[in-house]
Structure 1
């Protein structure tokens, strides 16, 4: 009863049918869009989802207690729900639930050094074969940059790296720090295409191992160094700092610590580029299912939270770009590739893991399409006069990077 009341309150657009464990059929929405039929397979699952929807919906799908009749998928269900919710909570019950989540977010996102490594290992130290199923050949696990709608994922990920490189205005011989370097793709590309000396740091043992091997294979070990190290323990200075997809793991209680750290790591005339998922609807809280199963300790920031902390750190915000829907397109391609290789994923883990990953990719994509999630690229500098007066240099540098056909063929091939 309570679950039906909740859906009646939320679903005004779309075509959603729910069939309960006793066979009772209820319909919601205005009948438009892709028809979605949900089946509940025990008597308690509806009650659980009614009182804790943000956690229990995902768990019910993972456990097979809730299924979707084909040809519709979990993406279609989440698209209906997020499309109706949008960027606002639908009514007092959702407002109260959101307020409670925001009230405890500093506890949930407390990420001291030891805990931060455990949180990273939870997601990034999975069997590497899982990521090979859906990422591009360079293993870029962050938003791609679709300069043209017909770009392949490989092309768009290379475009993302070059877009960032152009904003950093790196010169040969500069020292660059990559905070949260992943499997090394950004660091290796910057070294090859700009002539910089790059240090990449990660807390993932698996990523560190892969990144180090890739540097050796490409003959870059003397130019690129990967360290299994927390950025907070670094005592060096760098001409440039780049951080892609890492700030989401910092936690709201550690924002000042992060930007103070960037300030200390930069040389006198240094420049940083922070690429992070962001929210357009103001400060919020992490979805509890995502926090439990995917990114423990993580939080997607609002621009107001980032900018206020930057101002207190002494850094100058010199450029901000908001990438809209680029991550939705990235996730669509990741989801397509994962579903094509789903049988392989099930052999690596199991069916429950596959349903978890489907829910994660589908839920993330619909959030970017319907709930005001975007990507922020924030450029920071220690000196107000470090960079040129106009943004023209970014366009010129990016055009020059894209005009290197031999390097482009090599990078797209993953060599």
Structure 2
């Protein structure tokens, strides 16, 4: 088991991990009181690969079935144990050296030039709408929900999120709105029903664009809402308001200047942009190798320091900043529960390995937001300091007014 046993002794500071090796011999690694997990390894190659590429090797081994859990332990238990001990793993000498080497190549890892960006998006979002319907809310919002109360349904929390974003956009009748990375169209359709505005949604996913267009047609909103298969960098119109939800994670650090430059040119001096993105509270880093390879090629959730630097260089005012800290952990927990209820259907659509891959993705992401360094931030931007009201009460007041308007107008999308 060496060198894996050496690393595990340094890794487990809280809880207990029992590793049963390929010969059936148990190895116990114990720290302070905490979760207890039993894991079996059936491939001797894992003794080394788990040391030199921990996250990639663990994810692939779970997908392949060469890493499995026993004595009542589950993947969730293991990923919880991993998450609460992650800092000690990061400080292990070999991991520190490997991280330093990998950081030199992170710009290449986050390449999202035109064409390549569309291929990266298609890898994840064009799996098929029927697949995403198995675990998302009824309107297919694939981003962090906003739980005003802990017992709210996923559908209620996603509506809360749309309402919160709309409040920060300070919409007025007659405005033109751009939705960058529009997903399956729910935010654009909600805004058009809420206020008399025109909305253009752009996406690089063919599946999303097709369904969003159909939804606009079904709602009778095709005159004011349109969805295009288009890179945001190819948009040249001017918009009073710009919103982007869950897309910035796919931009890549080397393209941040390009992104904020484009925002600057797309809106007038009194325009407002609202950016909803995953970030992290730790210093700049990189996405896990497993996540990049299997789930989100080219993706990276930034440190706030990486974002502010480029915003400043592009002379944009940050007129509001809000952090949604545990809301995404709760959102992901809902997704995991719905995914597990439909797991047999996922296996029928794809196969067992694919189902294991998505289990690993969803649960590991939940842990990143529950006990790791991940968070979601809302950043409101403008070219002028007074484009939005200078007292923040308006965000709460507008949300209350929109609740009444939703009921009056019977907004269902």
Relative to the length of structure 2, the TM-score reads 0.97
1:88 is displaced (CA, Å) by 7.8
Rounded Cα–Cα distance in structure 2 between residues aligned with 1:171 and 1:125: 34
Which residue matches 1:30? 31
1:86 is displaced (CA, Å) by 4.2
Deviations 1:311-361 (A, max 9, x none): 111211111111111111111111111011100100010000000000001
Partner-residue secondary structure (3-state), 2:209: helix
Rounded Cα–Cα distance in structure 1 between residues aligned with 2:165 and 2:326: 17
Runs of 4+ in 1 over 6 A off after TM superposition: none
Cα distance change on mapping 1:209 and 1:101 into 2, 3 Å:
same
Deviations 1:282-330 (A, max 9, x none): 1111110000000000111111110110011121111111111111111
Contact 2:10 2:89 in 1 (8 A): no
Which residue matches 2:91? 90
1:127 is displaced (CA, Å) by 2.0
**Are positions 1:141 and 2:147 aligned together?**
no
Contact 1:87 1:281 in 2 (8 A): no
Q: How does 1:25-174 map to 2 (within 5 A)?
A: 25-30=26-31, 32-69=33-70, 71-86=72-87, 89-174=90-175
1:55 is displaced (CA, Å) by 1.0
1:81 is displaced (CA, Å) by 1.1
Partner-residue secondary structure (3-state), 1:238: coil
Q: How does 1:324-335 map to 2 (within 5 A)?
A: 324-335=325-336
1:402 is displaced (CA, Å) by 1.7
Rounded Cα–Cα distance in structure 2 between residues aligned with 1:128 and 1:328: 23
What number of residue pairs does the alignment pair up? 412
1:386 is displaced (CA, Å) by 1.4
Q: How does 1:372-387 map to 2 (within 5 A)?
A: 372-387=373-388
**Are positions 1:279 and 2:280 aligned together?**
yes
Rounded Cα–Cα distance in structure 2 between residues aligned with 1:70 and 1:194: 55
Rounded Cα–Cα distance in structure 1 between residues aligned with 2:158 and 2:202: 20
In structure 2, stretches of 5+ residues that fail to align are: none
Contact 1:201 1:228 in 2 (8 A): yes
Cα distance change on mapping 1:204 and 1:90 into 2, 3 Å:
same
Rounded Cα–Cα distance in structure 1 between residues aligned with 2:3 and 2:302: 32
Rounded Cα–Cα distance in structure 1 between residues aligned with 2:408 and 2:218: 16
Rounded Cα–Cα distance in structure 2 between residues aligned with 1:351 and 1:267: 51
Contact 2:52 2:95 in 1 (8 A): no
Q: Relative to structure 2, which stretch is displaced further, 142-151 or 43-52?
A: 43-52
1:82 is displaced (CA, Å) by 1.2
1:47 is displaced (CA, Å) by 2.0
Which residue matches 2:196? 195
Q: Relative to structure 2, which stretch is displaced further, 92-101 or 339-348?
A: 92-101
Which residue matches 2:370? 369
Which residue matches 2:402? 401
Which residue matches 2:346? 345
In structure 1, stretches of 5+ residues that fail to align are: none
Q: RMSD across aligned C-alpha pairs, in angstroms?
A: 1.5
Contact 2:10 2:88 in 1 (8 A): no
Cα distance change on mapping 1:102 and 1:29 into 2, 3 Å:
same
Which residue matches 2:289? 288
Cα distance change on mapping 1:407 and 1:365 into 2, 3 Å:
farther
Which residue matches 1:232? 233
Q: Relative to structure 2, which stretch is displaced further, 114-123 or 396-405?
A: 396-405
